[in-house]
């Protein structure tokens, strides 16, 4: 299957959408929930500067809702689990982040489930990120989580390995510091949004890093 080969030379080599098992799905849910719980206050603080200050609280509520159902979710095939986690986030995160993160996971799940699984993970990820961009009517450079998602996707495509992907996510989130917000409530601030890291980009980098760290522990290179 294409997805197995896709990771042959990357750091994700032992992770395959077909062989994803309960321990993997459960571990990823736990890693994401833990990193958001540990950083919720930090995320809300970033959001207080250029938004309404609830990004951390919203994300924590969403991830806790997913975590509470992990025993059921881990029994599902990976694409279905991703889709259901996405809907959980939509229903529980709220704000703009709920629909955006929700769309990302729902769409990755649907892309993987469609075409009888004959789609490469990188392609599914790309389509899902494009769906997020459409949902938010945002483009790269608008100071949103897209400014982390697209660079992360590029690293996955060039098989940077887990450490490289993780590093790029952090770097990309930091770069939103200098950007002027074009979408969301931060856009009302205009130039005053410059000089703050975007909370959505930050949470996206934190989640990416947590996922990479977890996968590295599971399957060290």
Pick the binder of other proteins from 11, 27, 95, 199 (CB under 8 A).
95
B/e letters for 70-104, b = 16+ CB within 10 Å, e = fewer, are beebbebbbbebbbbbbebbbebbbbbbbbbbbbb
Residue 16 near other proteins by CB under 8 A: no
Q: Are 132 and 104 in contact (CB under 8 A)?
A: yes
Pick the binder of other proteins from 96, 152, 162, 209 (CB under 8 A).
96
Q: How far is the CB of 201 from other proteins (least distance, A)?
A: 17
Q: Are 183 and 146 in contact (CB under 8 A)?
A: no
Q: Say how far apart CA 84 and CA 142 lie, in whole Å.
A: 28
Q: Say how far apart CA 83 and CA 216 lie, in whole Å.
A: 24
Q: How far is the CB of 91 from other proteins (least distance, A)?
A: 5
Residue 87 near other proteins by CB under 8 A: yes
Q: Say how far apart CA 31 and CA 140 lie, in whole Å.
A: 27
Q: How far is the CB of 145 from other proteins (least distance, A)?
A: 13
Residue 10 or 184: which CB sits closer to other proteins? Answer: 184
The CA angle 132-56-181, to the nearest 5 degrees, is: 50
Q: How far is the CB of 52 from other proteins (least distance, A)?
A: 6
Residue 179 near other proteins by CB under 8 A: no
Binding region for other proteins (CB under 8 A): 52, 54, 58, 61, 87, 90-92, 94-96, 98-100, 102-103, 135-136, 183-185, 187
């Amino acid at each position: 299957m294409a997805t197995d080969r896709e990771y042959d030379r990357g750091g994700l080599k032992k992770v395959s959408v077909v062989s994803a098992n309960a321990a993997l799905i459960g571990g990823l849910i736990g890693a994401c929930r833990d990193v958001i719980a540990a950083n919720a206050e930090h995320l809300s603080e970033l959001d207080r500067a250029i938004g309404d200050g609830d990004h951390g609280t919203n994300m924590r509520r969403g991830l806790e809702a997913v975590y509470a159902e992990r025993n059921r979710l881990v029994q599902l095939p990976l694409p279905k689990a991703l889709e259901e986690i996405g809907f959980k986030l939509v229903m529980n995160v709220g704000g703009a982040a709920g629909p955006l993160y929700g769309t990302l996971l729902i769409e990755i799940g649907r892309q993987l489930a469609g075409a009888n699984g004959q789609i490469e993970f990188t392609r599914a990820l790309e389509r899902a990120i494009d769906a997020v961009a459409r949902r938010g009517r945002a483009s790269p450079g608008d100071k949103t989580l897209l400014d982390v998602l697209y660079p992360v996707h590029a690293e996955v495509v060039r098989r940077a390995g887990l450490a490289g992907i993780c590093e790029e996510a952090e770097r990309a989130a930091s770069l939103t510091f200098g950007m002027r917000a074009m979408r969301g409530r931060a856009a009302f601030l205009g130039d005053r949004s410059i000089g703050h890291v975007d909370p959505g980009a930050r949470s996206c980098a934190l989640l990416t890093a947590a996922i990479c760290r977890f996968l590295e522990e599971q399957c060290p290179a």
